[in-house]
Chains A and B, each alone.
Chain A
Amino acid sequence: MTQTDQRDAQASIEAGVARSRAGFATRLRGLLGGSPDADAWEEVEETLISADMGAELAVGVVARARARRDVIPEMAVRYELLELFAHRDAVPWPRKPAPGVPAVVLVVGVNGTGKTTTIGKLAHRFASRGARVLLAAGDTFRAAAIDQLRIWAQRVDVPLVAHAANADPSAVVYDAMDAAVARGTDVVIVDTAGRLHTKSNLMEELSKIRRTIAKRIPEAQPEVLFVLDATTGQNGLTQARAFHESAGLTGIALTKLDSTARGGVAFSIEQALGIPVLFVGVGERMEDLLDFRPDDFVAALFG
């Protein structure tokens, strides 16, 4: 993504959600200005809960911030929030395997979080940086999912490996790996069907897809990207945990952040599972996928 694009997209979120954000931020700053009393602290707690942070986490953050004497209250809350984020390695994403071996990104999540759209945006991001990208249509279940990915592949101008509807997703993945090796692809992005994390047979299917990748390209260290809708509440943590167990997550994309939602459940996930949020989706255009930075995310809560 070019710098102008990044600025444009940033401007579009700022314009789109400014009003709802402003109310939230004003409230937080108002409560934390000067020396907040017990009621004000309780309201801070509620405000954090209203951002989907989860009651227990919010209670903890407020208690620790209140106890701090080294900084003013607003900074105390900011610091405590930043503490919740997982450690971030300073390595490129996706990890670059051995020379000549394609990097593989497996994209997973529950239904309707925006997996296919995120894949389109990722493809654009990698391709515009000169990488040879290949898409694999592993969602063979949802009606028209393959068509949707094909439209994205055409839009971004990258090749697509697809089978017919209802085909075995592992077979699609196997062929995609073959094609990637044959074409000298840099990054393969694999779409998967949305699945509720409570369906054990579908979760097992994800493990199988991982095994298929390992079988065809043993040197590949697949990145597994969990796509999370920012409007999701506390169930997001349960989802992440289940997907982590069956697929081994290495990153999170937080989508639909151009809504009024604040995606606070990301704090819970980072804190509990140590999986970093890497990208945020902020719109419908292919440029609308930004790098996630904890400082910016926390700063945005305060306006």
Chain B
Amino acid sequence: MFDALSDRLRDALGKLTGRGRITEADVEVAMREVRLALLEADVNYRVVKDFVARVRERAIGAEILANVNAGQMVIKIVGDELTAVLGAGDRTFRLTGSPAVVMLVGLQGSGKTTSAAKLARHIVRLGRQPMLVAADPYRPAAVDQLRTLGKGLEIPVWSSPPGTAVLDIARAGIAEAKRIGRDVLILDTAGRLTVDETLMEEIRVLGGALQPSETLLVVDAMVGQESVTVAEAFREAVSITGLILTKVDGDARGGAALSISAVSGVPVKFLGTGERTDALEPFHADRLAGRILGMGDVLTLVERAQETFDEKQSEQLAQKLRKNAFTLDDFLEQMQQLKKMGPLGSIMEMIPGMGGAAKQAQQAVDRGDLTRVEAIIRSMTRHERQEPAVLNASRRRRIARGSGTSLPEVNRLIKQFGEMQRMMRQLSGGGRMPAIPGLRRR
């Protein structure tokens, strides 16, 4: 997400850097570009107007234009303002009450049911015991969808017979949660249009009666100018405590998040980053602003790595690298670990300066390049993996056949692994990440 926005912002602001002194006219030109970039990113036009006015006002301050690094400072101002808008409000995720009630609301198709399952999984990781409640008596098969997801996660799902009023479904759910000892209730409500007064009244009643500790508005990252109208309409009915921005793994520019936070001060609390139930990330405004401006997001990367890699393994790996004993087995293991961290493209996006390479890497994964690499290594004997030097032509042919790949592919992998070993020797840990074998440049 945010790729195109960051590209355009960088273009617009790039003209200001490396030029020393800049004039008011330069700032005007850049601001026009920034305006277009934000509008094309679906940031609400009123928000854009305010945003550009604020940046312009700060940038045209005499002390900045006189500065030799004026261009850099304008970029910093844009970054600050982005962080300020996205950082509005309190992003703590609260689970109070017994059971604590988390209610999800939103338009149809925004991803409420998938988000409910992801949130349940997140809550389990927080050490709590969630239960899912299917409070959508309207959409055909909505209950089935939640049931299937709950089953996969081994989390109980409560539903009532068709025709039950939602408040009764919720109350029965609470009673059931108490009975089976579940301390968090996630309420998956029906998708609704903001013009549908009956359904808006329904969540108003629900919110009033249950007093949820979190009421999260689920918003599709691809939503356009209407995001603000939609959020305001929901806010009028229930007190929204945060947003879940979904489908962030597409290439939408996420102007909705910026717009809603700017107008209502409601913070983004989570990002939905994929179809699997583990694809939910807590949201960090400053890091995202960095990503928008193409400055990477090292903090999230480090956290993800810490969650995935265990310390002992990392230490062993470092040892091996130092002793120059890194084998194809180790490489295979690294690949598995990397996979656990999430889609390769989204990992690389977090590395400063790798935004462009991220897309290529993800395409390589989608094409199945890494799976092929895995198959090649798995078709080798133990000995071959430890000592690739023994791989003569006949062994390579056998491996190509065994892995269902081709000889050139096997050759390429072995060659790239050799180069990687050489690079590691030179770097002996630290420094730039070596290229991953198997990733062809397109």
Asked if A49 and B225 make an inter-chain contact with CB atoms under 8 angstroms apart, the answer reads: yes
Contact with A along B119-162 (1 / 0, CB 8 A): 00000000000000000001111101111110000000000000
A229: shortest Cβ distance to chain B, in Å?
Answer: 6
A contacts with B, residue count (CB < 8 A): 50
Residues of A with C-beta under 8 A to B366: 199-201
Asked if A235 and B195 make an inter-chain contact with CB atoms under 8 angstroms apart, the answer reads: no
Residues of B with C-beta under 8 A to A284: 138
Residues of B with C-beta under 8 A to A258: 193, 195
Given known pairs A200-B366, A233-B225, A233-B252, the reply for A56 and B40 (CB within 8 Å) is yes
Asked if A256 and B108 make an inter-chain contact with CB atoms under 8 angstroms apart, the answer reads: yes
A114 vs B147: C-alpha distance when bound (angstroms): 21
Residues of B with C-beta under 8 A to A143: 144-149
Q: Please, could you name 12 A-B residue pairs with CB atoms under 8 Å apart, sorted by A?
A: A20-B195, A52-B42, A52-B226, A56-B36, A114-B109, A143-B145, A151-B141, A198-B251, A201-B368, A231-B107, A261-B226, A284-B138
Which of B36, B193, B195, B233 makes the CB contact (< 8 A) with A55? B36
A289 vs B335: C-alpha distance when bound (angstroms): 49
Interface membership of A246, Cβ < 8 A: no
Among residues of B, the one whose C-beta sits closest to the C-beta of A200 is: B366
**Which one of B35, B42, B108, B224 has the highest number of Cβ atoms from chain A below 10 Å of its Cβ?**
B224
Residues of B with C-beta under 8 A to A201: 366-368
A62 vs B15: C-alpha distance when bound (angstroms): 28
Contact with B along A139-162 (1 / 0, CB 8 A): 001111101100110000000000
- The stretch among A88-96, A105-113, A209-217 that forms the contact with chain B is A105-113
Asked if B45 and A46 make an inter-chain contact with CB atoms under 8 angstroms apart, the answer reads: yes
B258: shortest Cβ distance to chain A, in Å?
Answer: 12
Interface membership of A236, Cβ < 8 A: yes
Given known pairs A112-B110, A147-B141, A231-B107, the reply for A196 and B368 (CB within 8 Å) is no
Interface membership of A128, Cβ < 8 A: no
A145 vs B110: C-alpha distance when bound (angstroms): 16
Interface membership of B41, Cβ < 8 A: yes
Contact with A along B156-198 (1 / 0, CB 8 A): 0000000000000000000000000000000000000111100
Residues of A with C-beta under 8 A to B297: none
Residues of A with C-beta under 8 A to B226: 52, 231, 259-261
Interface membership of A271, Cβ < 8 A: no
Residues of A with C-beta under 8 A to B36: 55-56
Interface membership of B284, Cβ < 8 A: no
**Which one of A50, A197, A259 has the highest number of Cβ atoms from chain B below 10 Å of its Cβ?**
A259
Residues of B with C-beta under 8 A to A145: 141, 145
Asked if B145 and A111 make an inter-chain contact with CB atoms under 8 angstroms apart, the answer reads: no
Asked if B195 and A259 make an inter-chain contact with CB atoms under 8 angstroms apart, the answer reads: yes
For the complex with contacts A52-B225, A145-B141, A231-B223, 9 further pairs of A-B residues with Cβ separation under 8 Å are A51-B225, A56-B36, A112-B220, A196-B250, A201-B366, A231-B230, A232-B223, A233-B223, A264-B224
A235 vs B247: C-alpha distance when bound (angstroms): 12
Contact with A along B244-258 (1 / 0, CB 8 A): 000101111101100
Interface membership of B111, Cβ < 8 A: yes
Interface membership of A265, Cβ < 8 A: yes
Residues of A with C-beta under 8 A to B45: 46, 49-50
Residues of A with C-beta under 8 A to B243: none
B264: shortest Cβ distance to chain A, in Å?
Answer: 16
Interface membership of A238, Cβ < 8 A: yes
Interface membership of A169, Cβ < 8 A: no
Residues of B with C-beta under 8 A to A111: 109, 111, 247, 275
Asked if A198 and B145 make an inter-chain contact with CB atoms under 8 angstroms apart, the answer reads: no
Near B by CB (< 8 A), chain A positions 162-186 give 165
Given known pairs A55-B36, A147-B140, the reply for A110 and B251 (CB within 8 Å) is no
Near A by CB (< 8 A), chain B positions 253-305 give 253, 255-256, 275
Given known pairs A232-B222, A265-B224, the reply for A148 and B140 (CB within 8 Å) is yes
A197 vs B149: C-alpha distance when bound (angstroms): 23
B236: shortest Cβ distance to chain A, in Å?
Answer: 13
A234 vs B250: C-alpha distance when bound (angstroms): 13
Interface membership of A54, Cβ < 8 A: yes
Interface membership of B17, Cβ < 8 A: no
Q: Which residues of B are interface residues toward A (Cβ below 8 A)?
A: 35-36, 39-42, 44-45, 107-111, 138-142, 144-149, 193-196, 220, 222-226, 229-230, 233, 247, 249-253, 255-256, 275, 363, 366-368
Asked if A144 and B144 make an inter-chain contact with CB atoms under 8 angstroms apart, the answer reads: yes
A96 vs B306: C-alpha distance when bound (angstroms): 59
8 nearest A-B pairs in the assembled complex, by CB-CB distance = A233-B224, A112-B109, A233-B42, A143-B148, A144-B144, A144-B145, A55-B39, A148-B141
Contact with B along A220-250 (1 / 0, CB 8 A): 0000000001011111101100000000000
Residues of A with C-beta under 8 A to B139: 148
A114 vs B193: C-alpha distance when bound (angstroms): 13
A111 vs B39: C-alpha distance when bound (angstroms): 24
Asked if B111 and A260 make an inter-chain contact with CB atoms under 8 angstroms apart, the answer reads: no
Residues of B with C-beta under 8 A to A131: none
A198 vs B362: C-alpha distance when bound (angstroms): 10
Asked if A231 and B251 make an inter-chain contact with CB atoms under 8 angstroms apart, the answer reads: no
Asked if A260 and B250 make an inter-chain contact with CB atoms under 8 angstroms apart, the answer reads: no
Residues of A with C-beta under 8 A to B249: 196, 198
A233 vs B256: C-alpha distance when bound (angstroms): 9
A236 vs B44: C-alpha distance when bound (angstroms): 16
Asked if A238 and B251 make an inter-chain contact with CB atoms under 8 angstroms apart, the answer reads: yes
A113 vs B109: C-alpha distance when bound (angstroms): 6
Interface membership of A16, Cβ < 8 A: yes
A234: shortest Cβ distance to chain B, in Å?
Answer: 5
A298 vs B223: C-alpha distance when bound (angstroms): 21
Among residues of A, the one whose C-beta sits closest to the C-beta of B41 is: A234
Residues of A with C-beta under 8 A to B140: 147-148, 151-152
Contact with B along A103-137 (1 / 0, CB 8 A): 00000001111100000000000000000000000
A256 vs B108: C-alpha distance when bound (angstroms): 9
Residues of A with C-beta under 8 A to B41: 234
Given known pairs A235-B253, A258-B193, the reply for A200 and B40 (CB within 8 Å) is no
Residues of B with C-beta under 8 A to A300: none
Asked if B39 and A231 make an inter-chain contact with CB atoms under 8 angstroms apart, the answer reads: no
Residues of A with C-beta under 8 A to B253: 234-235
Residues of B with C-beta under 8 A to A147: 140-141, 144
Among residues of B, the one whose C-beta sits closest to the C-beta of A193 is: B275
Residues of B with C-beta under 8 A to A272: none
**Which one of B40, B249, B367 has the highest number of Cβ atoms from chain A below 10 Å of its Cβ?**
B40
